[in-house]
Amino acid sequence: MLRRLGIGGRLFLAFLCISGLSLSSGIASWLILRHIAAAQSVVNTKALPAVAATQHTAELSAKLVATAPVLAAVQSSAELSNEQAKLSRLAQEMVASLDEARKLAIDTQLVEEFAGAVEKMLANLKSNYELVRQRLEEEAAYRDSAEKVADAAQSILLLSETLISNASAGASAVTANLYGLINDPARREDAYSAIDRLIEHDIFLMERMYELRHRSAQISLLINRLNRAESMVEITEISRIFQDHMKVIRRRILGIDDPVRRAQALQSFNTMETAAGDTPVAGSLFGRRQRIIDLVGKLDTLAEANRDLSVKQNAVARTILDRSGEFARTTAERADHAVQIGVFVLILTLLGAVLVSGTIVWLYVERNLVRRLGGLSRAMQRLTAGDLAVQVAEDGDDELRTMAVAVNRFRDESQRRLDLEQERERITVELKRHREELQQLVEEQTEQIRLVNTQLRQEALDHAEARERAEQASSAKSAFLATMSHEIRTPMTGMLGMMRLLSDTKLSSAQRKHLSIAANSGEALLGILNAILDYSKIESGNVVLEQVDFDMATLVEGVVAFMRPIATEKGLDFNLKIDRKLAPAFSGDATKIRQVLFNLVSNAIKFTERGGVEVEVTKAEADKSSQRVIVTIADTGIGISPEQQEHIFQAFTQTDASITRRFGGTGLGLAISRELARLMGAELKVESAQGTGSKFIFELTMKTARRPGRAQQRGPRAAKARQALNILMVEDDEATRLVADTVLSKAGHRVRAVSSGYAAVEAVADFKPDILVMDISLPGIDGLETMKRVRKALEAPGLPVIAMSAHVFTSEVERYLNSGVDAFVAKPIIDEQLLEAIGTLTDRVPAGTVLAAFDEVACKADVDALGLEVVRRLHRIAQDSLPRRFEAMHEALRGNDRKALRDLAHATKSSAGSLGFPRLLAASVALETASASGSAAELGHIVSECEAAFAAGFAQLDQTLPANEPAERTAAE
Ligand code: ADP
């Protein structure tokens, strides 16, 4: 997997790892910071506020505690209400602070305890306030009464002093009077009475007023003492003294003589008595004083309780504060701890990240990339500097390896270039040296070359002359061959024709045998001549391909049919297989294809003694417009060794010398066949093993034709060819004339044979030819001229004309055809070729005599070739099989099986051909043609015609054959 990634991918992975590590350390830091923040937050939001709230509450509580003495010391109601306001503010603050403390409480129980103490304190303060208020009221009332008592006492004091003064003044006056009376004895008694009164009244009065004044003054002093009194005992003592004084004062006041003054004194006394009360009970001056002392005592007790409470409160507050402080401290410590752990983990993660990143960077980037890149860079620098002794290790399996390989290649290439450069330099130096030498040499040899050039020019001229001579010789050879063949073929034609005619006459068996040998030799010679001519034509490039539409199957069938008798004669099996998918028509040179196939099939039969020959036609690749056709000719003959196979396609080559002796031949057939095949773009090859047989494969690609092939046209034409025609034949060579005449007459035509053009023109006066057959080279007017004149004489410019000539070069044949000749037949005349040429032109001949039911000439030829017995046997077979075939035709007609009908017609066509029944042949061809599209009635009619033609043919045959038997017998004798 990693290997496949390449450097980019691996680096990406490495950086991904490093980034992942940084990310994870970042995440760890974030988590730690969050933890620390949470701890700090606890410190900030809980611990510190809790401490602050506790402190605040404690401060408030201290203030509350401090309020109590102040409250207790209040001296006026204004002060009291002021303090009261402060107290209620404090109380409110306290409640709020307590609520806050409760919310932030770290130890709720403690806070509640504290709150309880505070509430108690508040309740105490409330009581305190109430006591103070009562105290102030009592004090006001007390002060009022005391002042009244003091004022009244003062009034009495002043009154008593006045009374004293008055008494003193009276005493003084008395006294003064006394001195006068004493001295006046008359008056002594007066004096004594005055002294008694003075002593009894004035001085006594004075004494009582002094006492009154003293007692009044004591009252004021008592009031002062009462103001300072601090205990019930003391108050009771003062009260008792006060009451004593009051009793005496009352008596003294009642003792005042002056009623006005007495009344005044009594009023003051009453005031005093009312204000002071008589006993220390509630409402009296002393009672008030006593209540004040009580209240002060209660206040002191309350202050004491408050102090206790304050102590307790302070203790709780301290505990809370301690706890809060402890909590804050613990939380802060925890936060510190978290910070420490965080820092530790952070450092650890960072170290881990740095370690792993470092490892990755070291292991992969440094060791695998940087180091190797460095090596590559150094190697490249060295290479750039021209140092080729660089060796880069090609390790790893990534791009760097590719680069290393490239650098090594570059080094090798550079080395090679350097070597080449050195070599080039060496060569340049060498060349330079050589050039200098050469220059010298050139100069030396220019002269020689000029001389040689002159010689060469002369030689070239000589060569051109020689080539011209050779070409002339070759042309001369071709011309010689052409002339020779022409000159030899003409008499040969005559000879062979004559021999064929001779063989039709009555001969002894020895004569027939000799004639047969002569004819065979003649045929062989003609074969050799033809082969040499063909080959020389090919050699001189005189072969031109024709393009005609034809039916390949029919062509092969024709070849096989033609060769079958020979194969049968040798006792060989002879089979033909044709691929049904073969196109119905092709466009190509049918003649040359036939020539090749004839050659191959005849070789196969020739070189096979046992077994058989099989011809197979198959279709290979095909496209819309063409098909590749493979014709295989396989035999079970002598075979060809691999070495021999290499040579057999060369001209005049046979596998060994004995071949000519055993089989004859020229060794030209295969050479011609291969050349023809080559010309047609076809292939001819052999597969063979000596002793087991050979297989010749002829493969050619041909255009498929749309219109029906010639074979299909040939049926009606061939049938028509059986029509008896008037044929005017012009041939100066007697033998050829005789042969052609015989061939045409045998085919049932009426022939007028003449030896010159003039004779031909004359002949048309009483002989109306349907076709003119003429030799080209004629004495007097030549063939072409004769043609013109005959046409003119007959007033038939479209008269079909067949030219015969031994001049078979393409250019000449083209000339004839361009001059108005309709068909051309090469000499020596081959019966079939002549008859086929006539067949192709029969279309243009008006319908004439009805076809013969039986071809006597053909039958005789068969008897000659095969022997009467064989022919008879063939006839018997036909007599048996054909009626059955007609029945099958009726059957097919009834079932409208057109294909079966066509096959039956085709088979009948072959039988009719071999039987020599022209009428049956024509009828079966018509049936085959019409089988595809003809109406049932039309087809029924043609089947009936077949049956009639067959019956008529046998009727004539029966009349003909017995007559021949004695002749055969004679010949045999
Ligand atoms: P020809 O048959 O006239 O001798 P060919 O060129 O046709 O010349 O054949 C050349 C030679 O090839 C023949 O002489 C024969 O030795 C050999 N040859 C051709 N066809 C066959 C065959 N079917 N079987 C064996 N040998 C063959």
Nearest by Cα to 842 from 707, 714, 712, 710 = 714
Residue given tokens 């690749």 in the structure block: 621
**694 C-beta closer than 6 A to ligand 1:** yes
Q: Give the dihedral sign, CA 939/944/947/952.
A: negative
Query: Quick one: pLDDT band at residue 786, thresholds 50, 70, 90?
Result: very high
**645 C-beta closer than 6 A to ligand 1:** no
Nearest by Cα to 664 from 528, 515, 481, 560 = 528
Expressed in angstroms and rounded, the spacing between residue 648 Cα and the centre of ligand 1 is: 7
Confirm whether pTM is higher than 0.75.
no
Lowest mean pLDDT across 10-24, 203-217, 578-592: 10-24
In whole angstroms, give the CA distance from residue 561 to residue 575: 10
**635 C-beta closer than 6 A to ligand 1:** yes
* Average of per-residue pLDDT across 596-624: 90
* Average of per-residue pLDDT across 810-827: 77
The highest-confidence range among 546-550, 719-723, 858-862, by mean pLDDT, is 546-550
Q: What is the pLDDT of residues 216-235, one digit of tens each?
A: 898 889 888 888 888 888 88
Q: Which residues pair with 577 in a beta bridge?
A: 616
Q: How far is CA 272 from CA 156, 249, 277, 389, 517, in A?
A: 10, 11, 8, 145, 213
- Length of the chain measured in residues: 973
Lowest mean pLDDT across 249-263, 402-416, 821-835, 955-969: 955-969
Query: Quick one: pLDDT band at residue 386, thresholds 50, 70, 90?
Result: confident
Q: What is the pLDDT of residues 727-736, one digit of tens each?
A: 999 998 887 8
Expressed in angstroms and rounded, the spacing between residue 654 Cα and the centre of ligand 1 is: 6
**655 C-beta closer than 6 A to ligand 1:** yes
Query: Quick one: pLDDT band at residue 965, thresholds 50, 70, 90?
Result: very low
Pairing of strands 586-588, 693-704: antiparallel
Nearest by Cα to 200 from 179, 178, 171 = 171
Q: What is the 3-state secondary structure (H, E, C) of 401-413?
A: HHHHHHHHHHHHH
Lowest mean pLDDT across 135-139, 427-431, 485-489, 572-576: 485-489
**669 C-beta closer than 6 A to ligand 1:** yes
Half-sphere exposure of 283 (CA within 13 A, CB side): 4
| Residue 715, pLDDT score | 37
In whole angstroms, give the CA distance from residue 488 to residue 112: 158
| Residue 580, pLDDT score | 84
| Higher-pLDDT residue of 603, 101 | 603
Lowest mean pLDDT across 341-345, 606-610, 623-627: 341-345
Are 783 and 822 a contacting pair, CB within 8 Å?
Answer: no
| Residue 845, pLDDT score | 61
Q: What is the 3-state secondary structure (H, E, C) of 124-158?
A: HHHHHHHHHHHHHHHHHHHHHHHHHHHHHHHHHHH
Q: Indicate if the pLDDT at residue 932 is higher than 50.
A: yes
* Average of per-residue pLDDT across 378-404: 81
DSSP 846: P
**605 C-beta closer than 6 A to ligand 1:** no
Q: Indicate if the pLDDT at residue 889 is higher than 60.
A: yes
Tell me what the pLDDT averaged over the chain comes to.
80
| Residue 787, pLDDT score | 93
Query: Quick one: pLDDT band at residue 848, thresholds 50, 70, 90?
Result: very low
Q: Which two tokens stand for residue 731?
A: 């041939």
Query: Quick one: pLDDT band at residue 712, thresholds 50, 70, 90?
Result: very low
Q: Indicate if the pLDDT at residue 687 is higher than 90.
A: yes
Lowest mean pLDDT across 207-216, 729-738, 913-922, 955-964: 955-964
Expressed in angstroms and rounded, the spacing between residue 474 Cα and the centre of ligand 1 is: 27
| Higher-pLDDT residue of 857, 71 | 71
Query: Quick one: pLDDT band at residue 968, thresholds 50, 70, 90?
Result: very low
**665 C-beta closer than 6 A to ligand 1:** yes
Determine the 3-state secondary structure of 704 from DSSP: strand
Are 86 and 67 a contacting pair, CB within 8 Å?
Answer: yes
Q: Indicate if the pLDDT at residue 762 is higher than 70.
A: yes
Q: Indicate if the pLDDT at residue 199 is higher than 60.
A: yes
| Residue 727, pLDDT score | 92
| Residue 486, pLDDT score | 67
Q: Indicate if the pLDDT at residue 963 is higher than 70.
A: no
**667 C-beta closer than 6 A to ligand 1:** yes
Ligand 1 mutation target, pool 633, 648, 672, 698, most atoms within 8 A of CB: 648
User: How would you class 437 by CB atoms within 10 Å of its CB: exposed for 0-12, middle for 13-18, buried for 19 or more?
Assistant: exposed
Q: Which two tokens stand for residue 208?
A: 């009582």
Query: Quick one: pLDDT band at residue 864, thresholds 50, 70, 90?
Result: low
Are 272 and 147 a contacting pair, CB within 8 Å?
Answer: no
| Residue 612, pLDDT score | 94
Q: Give the dihedral sign, CA 8/14/18/23.
A: positive
| Residue 640, pLDDT score | 93
Query: Quick one: pLDDT band at residue 851, thresholds 50, 70, 90?
Result: low
| Residue 402, pLDDT score | 83
Lowest mean pLDDT across 68-82, 454-468, 822-836: 822-836
Does the N-terminal peptide bond of residue 828 adopt cis geometry, omega within 30 degrees of 0?
yes
| Higher-pLDDT residue of 790, 715 | 790
Pairing of strands 726-730, 586-588: unpaired
